[in-house]
Structure 1
Amino acid sequence: MEKILVIGGNRYFGRHLTTLLRDTGAQVSVLNRGSTPPPPGITQLVADRGDEAALTAALAGRDFDVVVDQVCYTPPQAELAVHAFAGRTGRYLMTSTIEVYDTGVPHPAGVPLAESAVDPAQWPVRPELPWHDAEFVEGAYGEGKRQAEAVFTRAGAFPFAAVRLGHVLGTADFTGRLAHYAERIDAGRPVLVHREDQPSSYTNEQEAAAFLHWAVGQDFTGPVNLASHGELTATDLCELIADGRPYRTAAPAPGEQASPFSFDRYYGMDNSRAQQLGYPLAHTRDWLPGLLTAAATR
């Protein structure tokens, strides 16, 4: 029986992942601060992953075949994990994000972003930045993920892979991003969309969990993009959410923030590596209408 540790894993697609692993015969543990109990049959280890002494104590006498890190946001967190898990795991998977590609460097429109666009082996790590400051970390989300990937990649302490997820949509989404669209359309208010209205890539909570579950049993390393086929613009989302009802869009005024998922640059991901590794991907328009219906009834 494989021993799997999920760091985080108590909400959104992390909870789907832990139950998938449990139900397919793995011995599953989760490590988090303990605010929410895990599903039945899953062991909970309580520690703040940023507290080295507490983390070391929680891991005492334990080892794992695979660690899935759902909540690594900064290079110091990655450094601590390298020290804590060296010699304790045969493989390490980090949940990363499409936002690693938001580097400020122009990218040709219509050319999907491949994993090579951000190479963690070459990306600079800057430990002097204020990674202890929660407000800074929130504003530097993509940069924190880039540097965390770089730390794991260069450490070489264990085989490492980073799963770069497209924007994750789901009925349990705690960010309120889809709700923003539904609320504005329901109220007859305009959805603020950039004039260029460029597309981006998406996945859903079930696909994200299923891919990570599959990846646990694989041996690939390095970054891999996970996104369904079928890029979507903000206007596409409005069309699907409105479902035949009238809706309005408007360009944001100077200083006004566009709606979530509205981009003024091309932001599509190349998902060919995931397919080459053998994972079949869905199409956004196959799953999104059902998701929107389920979300509307919650």
Structure 2
Amino acid sequence: MDVLVLGGTVFLGRAVVSEAQALGADVTIFNRGKSGPPPEGATQVTGDRTVAADLDQLTGRNFDVVVDTSGYVAADVARGAALLAPTCGHYAFVSSINVFPGWPEADDYRDGGVHQGDPDAARSDVPTELSDSEAYGWLKAGCELAVVQAFGADRTSLLRGGCIVGPHDGAVGRLPWWIARVARGGEVLVPGSPEDPMSLIDSRDLARFALLARAGTFEATGPPARHTREDLMQTARSVTGSDAEFTYVGDDWLGAQQVEAWTEVPLWVPGAPSMFKHDTAGAEAAGLTWRPLRDTVADTWAWQQGVPGRWQPAERTPGLAPEREAELLAGWHAR
């Protein structure tokens, strides 16, 4: 099997390369070459999908499966998909659950359908009234249309991902932040309730599903109703050997302290009933499987420890500063 990965050196793309190689595939990656060297054994084609001359390097190349982990501007995705369609078998596009404008605030975000994206849209075409999250979903919806337009529905996988976690998540690092915080020990502020549902998908499980090349549109998220916030905290404590003690702090109280959901406290969005309420039945029927949560946490922790100087939060990584956490805990206990 010959596989082309659009992306391939950072997080999800790296997982696709690794899973494809484990299947015995020959892997080529196409990216700008700015995020580090290609994974061992992969062939690098350096280029920018927004530059026609760069894309032309792929003209006439034959690949059984194309996995696009990085596309989010429809016009750029459309250009590449049209070039690849004549000689490539299948296109797996990693989209997002954000294509549903009702997610995560609606009880059932599917009721309102998906954004009416434009398959030819440039970034400048995003409707000005949309928030950043909505704009991302609108662009991804346009990308979906662009891929189907080029490859046809019978040669396309649209994988609407949710919260993707796992080793090499260095760009954002929501799960690594929680693991590192629990590993530090002591009293840990945990938002919400121990019973709050969590639905996380390991990048390697999503990668493996993409490589199955199943035609269709899928909610390729973590398993619904399988894990809770307490499961995640206890797993992190067990894996890291920490003495952490967890103090659950109410959503409303945190909101009153102007704590920012998701960006200041990772994996927490209050007042979002469908945040982790996904319908994965179609994906499961098509072959999506999930490894145990402990395996994901343990492998992520091992990767964090193996990073030179140990993993440190990036500029984009959400998470409470120690001083802010201590202040909030003192206020919670004194209320």
TM-score (normalizing by structure 2): 0.70
Gaps of 5+ in 2: 307-335
- Shift of residue 10, structure 1, vs aligned partner: 1.2
Q: Residue type matched to 1:256 in 2? A: V
Q: Is the 8 A contact 2:194 2:229 kept in 1?
A: no
Alignment of 1:204-283 (within 5 A): 204-213=202-211, 215-216=212-213, 218=214, 220-228=215-223, 230-243=225-238, 245-250=244-249, 251=251, 252-254=254-256, 255-258=258-261, 259-264=265-270, 265-266=272-273, 267=275, 268-283=277-292
Q: Is the 8 A contact 2:95 2:161 kept in 1?
A: yes
- Which of 257, 274, 295 is 1:287 aligned to? 295
Give distance in 2, aligned partners of 1:150 and 1:13: 22
Inter-CA distance 225–45: structure 2 relative to 1 (3 Å threshold): same
Give distance in 2, aligned partners of 1:154 and 1:22: 29
Alignment of 1:103-142 (within 5 A): 103=102, 106-108=105-107, 123-125=116-118, 127=121, 130=124, 139=133, 140-142=135-137
Q: Is the 8 A contact 2:75 2:122 kept in 1?
A: no
Match of 1:201 in 2: 199
- Shift of residue 87, structure 1, vs aligned partner: 1.3
Give distance in 1, aligned partners of 2:189 and 2:70: 31
- For the pair shown, which has the larger CA radius of gyration, 1 or 2? 2
- Shift of residue 249, structure 1, vs aligned partner: 3.8
Give distance in 2, aligned partners of 1:179 and 1:15: 17
2:152 equivalent to 1:152 = no
Inter-CA distance 292–117: structure 2 relative to 1 (3 Å threshold): farther
TM-score (normalizing by structure 1): 0.77
- Shift of residue 166, structure 1, vs aligned partner: 3.1
2:182 equivalent to 1:176 = no
Which deviations, in whole Å up to 9, do the C-alpha atoms of 1:254-274 show, x marking residues without a partner? 443121211221322122112
- Shift of residue 296, structure 1, vs aligned partner: 6.1
Which deviations, in whole Å up to 9, do the C-alpha atoms of 1:210-242 show, x marking residues without a partner? 2223x13x4x22334242464445454334334
Question: In structure 1, the residue corresponding to 2:41 is in which secondary structure?
Answer: coil
Inter-CA distance 49–167: structure 2 relative to 1 (3 Å threshold): same
Q: What count of residue pairs does the alignment treat as equivalent?
A: 283
- Shift of residue 164, structure 1, vs aligned partner: 2.1
Give distance in 1, aligned partners of 2:269 and 2:228: 8
Give distance in 2, aligned partners of 1:189 and 1:246: 5
Inter-CA distance 49–18: structure 2 relative to 1 (3 Å threshold): same
Give distance in 1, aligned partners of 2:229 and 2:167: 18
Amino-acid identity (%)? 23
Question: In structure 1, the residue corresponding to 2:246 is in which secondary structure?
Answer: coil
Q: Is the 8 A contact 2:188 2:245 kept in 1?
A: no
Q: CA RMSD of the aligned region, Å? A: 3.4
